[in-house]
Copies of this chain bind each other. A is one copy, B any other.
Amino acid sequence: MTQTYSIGVDLGGTNLRIASYSEALGLMDTISLPTRLVEGRERVVRDLCEAVVSLKRKGYDGRALAGVGIGTPGPLELPEGILRNPPNLHGWDGFDLRNAVETCLAHSVSIESDGNAAALAEARLGAGREQKVDSLGILTLGTGVGNGLILNGQIWHGSTGMGGEAGHSIVKDQDGAPCGCGGFGCLEQYASAMAIQRMARERMGSEAPASSHAIFLMASEGEPRALSIFETVGHSLAIALTGLVNTLNLPLYLLGGGVCEAWEMFAPSMFRELRVRSYVYRLTEPGEGDPAALERHKTYILRAQLGSGAGLLGACLLPYERQDSTSTSQENLLVHK
């Protein structure tokens, strides 16, 4: 496998990133483009494929291309690879993304939700590998809230590929803010960059800065309304994590995405509330500080390690996942002969 490379695509609502990767060298070349949504999905697919082909032309010292992986905003219907009402890709409902890219490239591709791709990267190359856990969940607090689950070493797709949408768990049952998913009161409306901006407008009116980073800076200076927003972020994460911790009892939950720059501001209220709300967490809470190695029988909630590149790296890993499962079944075939 060291003599192959893969190409990964992170298809976001704003940015389209394409990278080449090998196990020995990690990420090799990365191309960043705007996602030209206004010019239509065919245009985006063409941009994507042209970038893949331009990387493939580099040859990489004769290495064979193990495959092409795509991480995309969900919900995604699997195994087909059809997008279903993706809140961040308006007009893409029902789009058979896998087929469109495969036709354009004349090459099969692996496709996953971006949350699952990030979870995979953290499991294989980030916090999960370091901590030697078989199962983990990730919440990526970016423009929206992504989610991915690795259970017993494998991505959890659910029965139609739409698992890992815990960003749309409900954290406010009454008067919840309307969400892009069509519901209201979702975690995404209380713990994303978009949510932080909305809460700033609600609480500061015309004084609200436009970006979540600027609101973070205000909070860093002790501005009470800005601080209260991150309290709400922490409270909302605790409500959603209570559901995940009590239902799944995983050894590790990771928080990633840009909002985590404010970790010191939301983590105290998150842990305080989680301790009150989740008895499974209370029974399994680890000691203070980030551990060198995870202790058995504990529930860790840590910052993700791979930063904003986790989704792209996970997309690069997808072809190797598929190859692994193929080689396993071939072994089985040999055994049963």
Residues on A lying within 8 angstroms of B by beta carbon are 75, 77, 84-85, 133, 135, 147, 149, 151, 156-166, 168-174, 181-185, 235, 239-240, 242-244, 246-251, 276-280, 282-284, 296-297, 299, 335
Residue of B nearest to A171 (CB): B173
Are B149 and A151 neighbours in the complex by a CB distance under 8 Å? no
Cross-interface CB contact of A160 among B85, B184, B276, B284, cutoff 8 Å: B284
Are B279 and A158 neighbours in the complex by a CB distance under 8 Å? no
User: Contacts A75-B279, A168-B278 given; 19 further ones with Cβ under 8 A?
Assistant: A77-B297, A84-B283, A85-B283, A147-B247, A151-B151, A159-B251, A159-B296, A160-B284, A162-B246, A163-B247, A163-B248, A163-B249, A164-B249, A165-B247, A165-B280, A168-B279, A182-B276, A183-B242, A184-B276
Q: Could you tell me the dominant secondary structure of chain A's interface residues?
A: loop
Which residues does chain B contribute within 8 Å of A168, judged by CB atoms? 242, 246, 278-280
**A240 → B minimal CB distance (Å):** 8
Which residues does chain B contribute within 8 Å of A297, judged by CB atoms? 77, 159-160
**A235 → B minimal CB distance (Å):** 8
Which residues does chain B contribute within 8 Å of A250, judged by CB atoms? 158-159
Are A183 and B279 neighbours in the complex by a CB distance under 8 Å? yes
The 4 closest A-B pairs by CB, nearest first: A158-B249, A163-B249, A165-B246, A169-B243
Q: How many copies of this protein are present in the complex?
A: 2
Of A147, A243, A280, the most chain B CB neighbours within 10 A belong to: A243
C-alpha spacing A165/B248, complex, angstroms: 8
Are B169 and A242 neighbours in the complex by a CB distance under 8 Å? yes
**A272 → B minimal CB distance (Å):** 13
C-alpha spacing A239/B235, complex, angstroms: 17
Cross-interface CB contact of A172 among B173, B184, B296, cutoff 8 Å: B173
C-alpha spacing A169/B75, complex, angstroms: 23
Are B249 and A157 neighbours in the complex by a CB distance under 8 Å? yes
Which residues does chain B contribute within 8 Å of A299, judged by CB atoms? 159
Cβ contacts A to B, 15 pairs, < 8 Å? A75-B280, A77-B297, A147-B247, A151-B151, A159-B299, A162-B284, A165-B279, A165-B280, A166-B247, A169-B246, A170-B242, A182-B279, A185-B277, A243-B243, A244-B247
